[in-house]
Chain A
């Protein structure tokens, strides 16, 4: 089994204990809160897209109404020449969305034109211009029905335009929408916040966007799956996509009158900004707390481990036979209990060791006594007395004779220590004990 130092375990445990709940919280946030935020954002984007679509439609309705009116008046009144020019000039100046309004003859040549800006010289030049290969003119001329163009490079204003054409009596009246105005209009709608608002034609080409950067650049975003789905469907679509390296969440809705679409999108960073900000603050707090916890746990682990080290050191000292030191104490109950238990165990072992040693010595002495090669009884008794004194670590020893008949102990002789300490002489007379008598040897630690 692998073993680990206590201080490492004590250091890592609080980190794990801290990280685990936050990890669980992060998983919950990722799988539950983030989709919910995205869903709310998509719902909000769809509301905005609907509002924008409605307003753009209204914005374009004005253009359509003006172009329609120009075609109808021309048809009803059979206007020609000077009057028609006045009519177009008046209608263009009354519109805030049209950049130009012109009538095109069946051969594709402009018969009269009015520009929103004052440019009389250009008016003359543009009259008679051949638009026979213009896609919108050809479509409307063939179908005989009004229609919107895709975004196209206009020879009239020299930039990207979108136009609405209505067939009239002998002419087709075309109004070109000023996409710059449309961009400014979208900017007003977006309110300068993080929203990306685009108008996309049915080929996926950006007609206008809220900050004007993509307007007039003929950027085709039809490769984006959300846009493709949006173009293929009449229903609102939502989803995520990448644009210019940024991950975005967007919603798309159709403007039915022109078959254009409004795309409202938001960078994921902006979408989750509030949550991310909170998450970063919480993360910063967690990190700070974690660092403090790690530092504290390292300090405490070291302190606790040091107590165990001291206990282990003391145990090793005792094992070496040095019982002089005191057992380490602590303010921790459990530690003191462990220390006390170890002390009791050590004492018990020590006592058992002493008993064992004494028993062993006694056995060895008895063996020595029994194996002593004596020549006379006195010599044997002296040897036995010395062994007993040594065995019992006594100062003095006596030999008694016990008379079983009289039941009396009679001092027979004593060790040399008594002779020296009390100046008493040892008896040299030996009386042989008869039957029913026994010799006894005793020892004392004091004289």
Chain B
């Protein structure tokens, strides 16, 4: 009888306790890390919007096994110290997978703490070769810089007749930009071309480009190569066009956002860039994505928006297919290939993906795929 009374007391106490969350109904937490403010914000904002769209569509469709997906967004401000701090915040929340960062230097800054944790970093746009072929917690849905740089080099040399290049790159994202330039140099020089001048700059509000544009043009190179974000690339283009309106300009895919065309104005005309996004794609999958993105954000996604969306699709599918006790990385690499908006993304054993790339030229304010 005494035992029964104690049971009754315990049951009464439990009934009076506030209901605690059942893990089955707790949301799946997904992180996003990217530069959302400052000069590279267009890349980060588009990436975040792509991830946000995928998450919202997933939740609208009922979530993953009945669980909603909650997105925790952090701005790395394109600053390594900030990136480390906010990545630490996301890791501290026991988030299993972070989509991001959007730039290579931020990836290099946070990788030590990512590898020391259980969290997976799945980047939409980081292309540095420094993270190639490593068995770590870094995965990406994009090819490394060698793919874009070598394609650009070959196109400039073979199709446009470039023989000498004066290059300028952003030192604040050195992991990416220097690697990109090196890959370009290898491919371009292998063709018979030459890099006649290399200049660097530190992206910032007070950076001025007119003097360096003069130096680039003074090198007598037939092509100027710009490896930087959209705002800086637009300003450099404008300065170069002011001084030499017909100068051939190539740039890295980092700058090839929709904002670049608006910021560079007519100076963007004729600029060539290697991209993995085919804006002339007429497939229903791409058109549906484009329509949904425009309806949600009142702007075009650009490559960063699509890459963010693709990365989020991979992440969400990995959450859905993984078996009990299986890690997300195992689930992603185990499946190997995922359907993206425009391409099937195939991961190798170290978590690097391969994408087809296209050469595009800006004509009449549009990216036009030419090769």
Contact = CB atoms under 8 A, between A and B. Distances in A.
Given A130-B266, A153-B259, A222 B298 contact: yes
Size class of the A contact interface (CB-based, 8 Å): 35 or more
A132 B265 CA distance: 6
A187 to B, nearest CB: 17
Interface of B (DSSP majority class): helix
Interface string A195-225: 0000000011100000000001110101100
B265 A153 contact: no
A122 interface: yes
Nearest to A298: B5
A68 interface: no
Contact of A294 (B12, B49, B73): B12
Contacts, number: 109
A130 B41 contact: no
Contacts of A407: none
Interface in B62-113: 70, 72-73, 75
Interface string A108-147: 1000000000010110110011111111000000000000
Contacts of A11: 5, 8
A121 B208 contact: yes
Contacts of B24: none
B209 interface: yes
A134 B262 contact: yes
A325 interface: no
B128 interface: no
A90 interface: no
A33 interface: no
B235 A133 contact: no
A220 B297 contact: yes
Contacts of A128: 238, 242
A133 B297 CA distance: 20
B334 interface: no
Interface string A144-184: 00000000110101111000000000000000000000000
Contact of B208 (A122, A157, A244): A122
A140 B1 CA distance: 86
B126 interface: no
Contacts of B265: 108, 129-134
A143 to B, nearest CB: 19
Nearest to A245: B70
A210 B73 CA distance: 18
Report, nearest first, the 9 A-B pairs whose CB atoms are least far apart: A130-B265, A203-B298, A217-B36, A216-B37, A155-B263, A218-B45, A158-B39, A125-B210, A133-B262
14 contacts: A11-B5, A12-B8, A15-B12, A129-B265, A131-B265, A132-B266, A133-B261, A133-B262, A134-B262, A155-B235, A217-B41, A218-B36, A222-B297, A245-B70
Interface of B: 1, 4-5, 8-9, 12-13, 16, 27, 36-39, 41-42, 45, 48-49, 56, 70, 72-73, 75, 205-206, 208-210, 230-231, 234-235, 238-239, 241-242, 259, 261-268, 296-298, 365
Interface of A: 5, 7-8, 11-12, 15, 108, 119, 121-122, 124-125, 128-135, 152-153, 155, 157-160, 203-205, 216-218, 220, 222-223, 244-245, 287, 290-291, 294, 298
